[in-house]
Structure formats: structure tokens, C-alpha cells
Amino acid sequence: MTITRYNRRDEDNLPNFLSHEEARGYFKQKYGDAFIMTDSQEIGGKKLYFYRLILDPQTYKENINELLNKGNIRGIEFLNSYQSIEIFEDGGIHIIH
């Protein structure tokens, strides 16, 4: 499956989600293991969940391994191998473009 980066129009055309669970379910059903949670935190009294949509699994895996083994990576390939998606507890979505 080839996964393409979301643009602003794609983001605007996403369904309106009522909760984090609903939004997460949508992306997990659509992308499976290519959609992974990396962190969560409370901001302004609301929980925010951080995800990565893996666009290039090979490059992503290689760079994660290098980061874990060496503590750093070179180049922009790693950043281009995924797209960050933030989901608020109320279902609001913010995609990093």
C-alpha cells in the first residue's frame, strides 16, 4: 500500500470526529500499523495525542534504528518518511504539513 502525504485540502475533507477514539479508529482502520502513537500530553486542560503516519517504512525503520544506536541521524530523509498527526481528546485533528 502506498501512503501519500496529507495536504490541507485532504485535511479539510476528513470527517468530523467526536472523540480521540473515533479519530484514532478511522486512521488505524485506514492505515493499520503505519499509524503509530508516539506521545501524549495535556495542554490547556485537554489531552493531545501525537501520531506518525509512516509514508516510507524502509527509510523510517532505518533512521529509527540509527537514532537508537547512534543517538542522531543526518539528512532530511527521516522527516520525509512520516507525517505528524495530532488528535485532541475531543476529536479535533491537526496535521503537520
pLDDT in tens, 49-70: 999 999 999 999 999 999 889 8
Q: How far apart are the first and last CA of the chain?
A: 21
The total domain count for the chain is 1
Closest by CA to 5, choosing from 71, 76, 88, 79, is: 79
Task: Return the minimum-mean-pLDDT range out of 17-21, 26-30, 64-68, 71-75.
Answer: 71-75
C-alpha grid cell for residue 36?
503509530
C-alpha grid cell for residue 7?
495536504
Q: Is residue 15 part of a domain?
A: yes
Give 72-80's long-range contacts (Cβ < 8 A, gap of 24+). Answer: 80/55, 80/56
Q: Is residue 1 part of a domain?
A: no
Give the whole-angstrom CA distance, residue 58 versus residue 56.
6
Q: Is residue 62 part of a domain?
A: yes
Q: Is residue 69 part of a domain?
A: yes
Q: Which pTM does this prediction carry?
A: 0.93
Q: Is residue 21 part of a domain?
A: yes
- Type of residue found at 92: G
Q: Is residue 2 part of a domain?
A: no
Q: Is residue 72 part of a domain?
A: yes
Range of the structural domain that residue 76 is part of: 8-95
